[in-house]
Amino acid sequence: MEPRNVLLLNRSFEPLQVCDVRRAIGLLFTGRAERVEDSADLIRSPSVALFIPSVIRLQRYIQRPPRQTLSFNKKNILKRDGYTCQYCGRNGSERMTIDHVVPRFLGGKTIWENVVSACRSCNTRKGNRTPQQAEMRLPQRPSKPISALYLTIMAQSARHLHVWQKYLPAGAVRSLSGNGKDKEVYPCNGDGQSPFLLS
Ligand SMILES: [Zn+2]
C-alpha cells in the first residue's frame, strides 16, 4: 500500500502541512484536531479499527509557520509534476529527465515556466523541437508552484489529490482532469506561435 499522508488544515480550513498518519491520529486522539475526510483504508489494533484520515483540521487557529524556501532544482520540478512524464503520463522518479519546452537551442530559458518532467523516451523523441513541432501534447502550462507547501502537496499521488483538491485554492495544484483536454493556447515569446500543443 502506498504511504498514507494526511492534509492538515488550520482552523480556518487553510492548508498548513502534509503530515504522516501517526501524527494525524495523535492530533485526533488528543482532541487537537477533528476529522474532515476519511480514506477508505482501515487501521486496526487488537481492540479498535478505524478509518485512516485523509484530511484533518486543527481545533485552534495557529499562526502560519514561516514560509519554506522554494528552490528551483530537478528534484522540485519532478515534485511539481508528480514524477510523471508530462508528454505520455508515464510515472517513475528514477528515470525521469527534465525537458525544456522551448529548447535552449531555440532560446528557451531554464525557468519554472519552461521546464517539465519527461521520460527519456519522450525527451529523446522531442529533441530540439517545441511540442508543437514535435506534435507532442502538454496537459497544461508549466508554472512556478505558489509555495513549498504546495510543492509537497503536488508530489502526492492522484488518489490523495482527488480528495484534497477541494481544500486547496483554485489553480494551486495541477489539474487532475485536464489531461490533454485543455484547449487553452499559451503565448510564445518568439514568432507568435504557441510552442505548446494542447488540443
Ligand atoms: Zn514520456
**Residues 6 or more apart from 69 whose CB is under 8 A from it?**
148
**pLDDT at res. 98:** 97
- CA of 119 from ligand 1 middle (Å) equals 4
**pLDDT at residue 198 in the model:** 43
pLDDT top residue among 43 and 178: 43
pLDDT digits (tens, 9 = 90+) for 74-102: 999 998 998 899 999 998 877 899 999 99
Q: Where are the domains of the chain?
A: 1-64+147-174, 74-144
Grid-cell match 495541477, residue found:
174
- Tell me how far the alpha carbon of residue 177 lies from the centroid of ligand 1, in angstroms: 18
CA of 71 to the centre of ligand 1 (A): 25
- Between 170 and 110, name the one with better pLDDT: 110
Please tell me which residue, 62 or 193, carries the higher pLDDT value: 62
Task: State residue 189's pLDDT score.
Answer: 36
Q: Determine the pLDDT at residue 195.
A: 55
3 pLDDT higher than 80: no
pLDDT digits (tens, 9 = 90+) for 45-70: 888 888 999 999 999 999 977 777 89
* Mean confidence (pLDDT) of the chain: 84
CA of 79 to the centre of ligand 1 (A): 16
Q: What is the pLDDT of residue 111?
A: 97
Q: Which residues surround ligand 1, an ion (CB under 5 A)?
A: 85, 87-88, 90, 119, 122
Per-residue confidence (pLDDT) for residue 170, from 0 to 100:
76
Q: What is the pLDDT of residue 49?
A: 87
Whether this prediction's pTM lies above 0.95 is answered by: no
pLDDT in tens, 105-163: 999 999 999 999 999 999 999 999 999 999 999 988 999 988 888 888 888 877 888 88
Task: Supply the pLDDT for residue 192.
Answer: 38
Whether the Cβ atoms of residue 82 and residue 160 lie closer than 8 Å to each other: no
Which CATH number applies to 74-144?
1.10.30.50
